[in-house]
Structure 1
Amino acid sequence: MSASLSSGRALPKRVRNELRFRKLTVSSKTLVADNFWRIEFTSEELDGYNSPGFDDHSKIFFPDPQTGKLLLPQVTDEGIAWPDGERPLSRDYTPLFFDGKTRLTLDFFRHEHGVASQWAEQAQPGDPLAVGGPRGSIIIPVDYRVQVLAFDESGLPAVQRRLAETQAEKLILLAFTDEALVKNYLPNLPANAELTCFGSGTMNSEGIQRCQQQLASLTLPEDDYFIWLTGEGEAVKVLNDYFIEQRHCHSGLVRGVAYWHHKG
């Protein structure tokens, strides 16, 4: 894939980060928009932590729910080694904010039956957690003329990071959640943002069809746009295929990332 486009814009670039595992300690916990626990962690081990991509994923490792023991692996020449072969529960999360020194902030969406959500509900200052990565980042230029972000609740932290950096002339936000939640979580939407909300739980075939109908009138400037899609895996694939196969978008300008999958 070439490094530039017919529009003169650069393509997104993949970079590698140093892989390290760090032990963190909860320092504060705040309820945000009634649906997220915003938890700030502190650690001297965060020295050198790096998250340059707005939709980066760090892997979060949780203490054993029975013993409270927190396991960290070792990075060896042969790869990642776990003590005695034990692997703790883990989930991928978007780093919301890092102060460049010792403080890292993550937002945990509140929902039933989620390992991370259940941990966040009970978390208190002083509780331990471990973080690994992000192992790699996608650096997406901020100044594509038109930018489309399609997401559900799980993508809101990444959207918040993108809104803080984007220089798009036109910004299309397609939210598969409730308008009240989006506006409470993102209270300072840019003036050029066009927000459409399909409602919570709509990342399904019916919701995707409504989204495609909404997109039918959208004109994309040649090679001067970026489309970011996240949420439930199958829905993300359908939307990704829509842009690539039906809208004939440049594959390097469409990024679909599954944040979760239906069980079964």
Structure 2
Amino acid sequence: MLPKVRMPDTRKMITLEVLATARRSAGFTTITLGGPELDQFKPSGDDQTVRLFFPREGQDRLTMPTLSNEAWMAQVLMMPKTRRPWVRNYTIRRARPERGEIDIDFALHGDAPASTWAQHAKPGDPAGIFDMGVTYLPPARASWQLLVGEESAVPAILAILENAPTTLIAEVFLEVPETADIQHDFRAPEGVRVHWLPRERADTLPGELALQTVRNAQLPPEPFYTWVAGEAKLPTGLRRHLVNERGIPKADIAFFGYWRHGRSSPG
């Protein structure tokens, strides 16, 4: 089943540069991007996702695709690796259009290309974005919401909460590597309960703790909407549990596998 996505009316490839970096904890860092072309980007809030382009090691500049349609990926893959950029999906954590800035939070995973770039990025370094729309699309009939993710989905869920109406009622389960990775500088409506789940143990795979915790949780009986993302086994496992053991309609569950443990993303 293809995920539901609200795409922007118009979009184009946008080249920016790093304005600032801030290490939040051992597991997270924030990169602030900006530049003249950002006035062509329309922030839409919630889990607004962009393709993030950044140079490979050894490249002295960023080569962006010239096509602002679905043919852009083919164009990238046809580039020789000497010019081909890395491409990954990331959520806009915060946008400040009046200042020409956007923040992207990175969950740091070892020596993965994006983690390595984020940890070494400095002001003036080039980066590019391409708007991929929003997947958080709760139906009006939902009495409350269930939001679940491990560290790779924490920025998206916190962005959802900060853009949510004050009437939102939600149970939120956020798994992070360590207690030090718990974040406190975000806003959430009063009806939202956030459960932080530090793994602490290195032998526990990302998403396992969140999945088991929600399986064992006492959830309100009223109809609800679920948005879950992260390592592939978490969203697929939670969807299976909700449908088979709690009788939740599939249409009320939005689930997204951001990555797979032990496998690198293409591009």
Q: Alignment partner of 2:176: what SS?
A: coil
- Structure 2: any 5+ residue segments left out of the alignment? none
Q: 1:171 to 1:40 in 2, by over 3 A?
A: same
- Structure 1: any 5+ residue segments left out of the alignment? 1-11
Aligned counterparts, 1:18-97, within 5 A: 18-75=10-67, 79-80=71-72, 81-82=75-76, 85-86=79-80, 87-97=84-94
CA distance in 1: counterparts of 2:28 and 2:184, whole angstroms: 9
TM-score (norm 2): 0.80
Match of 2:219 in 1: 218
CA distance in 2: counterparts of 1:69 and 1:209, whole angstroms: 44
Give how far 1:43 is off: 1.4
Give how far 1:170 is off: 3.0
Asked whether the 8 Å contact 2:46–2:159 carries over to 1, the reply is: yes
Match of 2:137 in 1: 140
CA distance in 1: counterparts of 2:216 and 2:254, whole angstroms: 20
CA distance in 2: counterparts of 1:189 and 1:29, whole angstroms: 24
CA distance in 1: counterparts of 2:256 and 2:69, whole angstroms: 29
Match of 1:117 in 2: 115
Q: Alignment partner of 2:127: what SS?
A: strand
Q: 1:31 to 1:142 in 2, by over 3 A?
A: farther
Asked whether the 8 Å contact 1:61–1:90 carries over to 2, the reply is: yes
Aligned counterparts, 1:116-195, within 5 A: 116-134=114-132, 136-138=133-135, 140-141=137-138, 144-166=142-164, 167-177=166-176, 180-181=179-180, 183-186=182-185, 188-195=187-194
Q: Alignment partner of 1:133: what SS?
A: strand
Match of 1:245 in 2: 244
Asked whether the 8 Å contact 2:197–2:209 carries over to 1, the reply is: no
TM-score (norm 1): 0.81
CA distance in 1: counterparts of 2:55 and 2:261, whole angstroms: 25
Q: Alignment partner of 2:198: what SS?
A: coil
- Residue 154 of structure 1 aligns with an amino acid whose one-letter code is S
Q: Alignment partner of 1:50: what SS?
A: coil
CA distance in 1: counterparts of 2:67 and 2:171, whole angstroms: 41
Task: Among all aligned residue pairs of Structure 1 and Structure 2, give the percentage whose two residues are the same amino acid.
Answer: 22
Give how far 1:202 is off: 5.2
CA distance in 2: counterparts of 1:77 and 1:168, whole angstroms: 37
CA distance in 2: counterparts of 1:51 and 1:244, whole angstroms: 33
> 1:259 aligned to 2:258?
yes
Give how far 1:70 is off: 1.0
User: What is the alpha-carbon root mean square deviation over aligned residues?
Assistant: 2.9
Q: Alignment partner of 1:125: what SS?
A: coil
Asked whether the 8 Å contact 2:76–2:85 carries over to 1, the reply is: no
CA distance in 2: counterparts of 1:158 and 1:182, whole angstroms: 15
Asked whether the 8 Å contact 1:32–1:185 carries over to 2, the reply is: no
Deviates more, 1:229-238 or 1:42-51: 42-51
Q: 1:78 to 1:126 in 2, by over 3 A?
A: closer
Give how far 1:195 is off: 3.3
Deviates more, 1:82-91 or 1:145-154: 82-91
Q: 1:202 to 1:146 in 2, by over 3 A?
A: farther
Asked whether the 8 Å contact 1:146–1:220 carries over to 2, the reply is: no
